[in-house]
Amino acid sequence: MICLATLFIAEMNLILHIIILVVLFVSLELKFMKRLFLHGATMLIALVLHVISFILVMWPSFRLSYPYGYNTFSFITVTHAILGGTTLILAIWLIASWRFQRSLKSCSKRKNKMLLVFVMWVIALLLGILLYLYLYTTLVPWL
Ligand code: HEM
């Protein structure tokens, strides 16, 4: 049986994942609207939320129940962890290189890397949501 506290923490983490996804797409839209400073600032918000989720939930949970074995569930968990962890490091680097400078010339040079980080981030979040559905609902019994 799943303890209520565990379920509550998992649900909070799910909500954080969904909020981060929304913030990422809002930020991308801001980039298309050429509101580039706001694009950088909203990516910073997404990063802070990701760090909170990582420190409070994902890292402790990964350490407590490292997914041993060769099955689809372990594969998805490890892929989610590797993609999520790498995204975290690259996103910190992208935002630290910007340092709120008004001139965005140096940021423009990194736009291919940003696209890569964006795609990795979205995949990591979707895998996280899939793991929640598998662990706490009956929606993905095939995993
Ligand atoms: C983790 C952080 C970030 C992610 C995931 C991200 C994501 C993206 C994506 C997907 C694009 C479109 C790339 C393309 O058109 O091929 C882009 C473009 C861009 N981003 Fe970011 N970004 C991030 C951080 C930042 C920061 C901190 C700045 C600085 C303000 C910034 C400024 C720009 C600029 C100037 C462009 C190119 C605009 C253009 O030339 O059309 N980004 N970003």
Neighbours of 52 (CB within 10 A): 14
Per-residue pLDDT of the chain (143 residues; tens, 9 = 90+): 568 888 899 999 999 999 999 999 999 999 999 999 999 999 999 999 999 999 999 988 888 776 667 888 889 999 999 999 999 999 999 999 998 888 888 889 999 999 999 999 999 999 999 999 999 999 987 77
DSSP string of 98-127, one letter each residue: HTT-S--HHHHHTHHHHHHHHHHHHHHHHH
How many Å lie between the centroid of ligand 1 and the Cα of residue 119? 12
Q: What's the CA-to-centroid distance between 49 and ligand 1, angstroms?
A: 18
pTM: 0.92
- Domain residue ranges of the chain, discontinuous segments joined by +: 4-136
Q: Compute, in angstroms, the gap from residue 141 CA to the centroid of ligand 1.
A: 38
Best residue for ligand 1 mutational test, from 90, 105, 107 (most atoms within 8 Å of Cβ): 107
3-state DSSP call for residue 39? helix
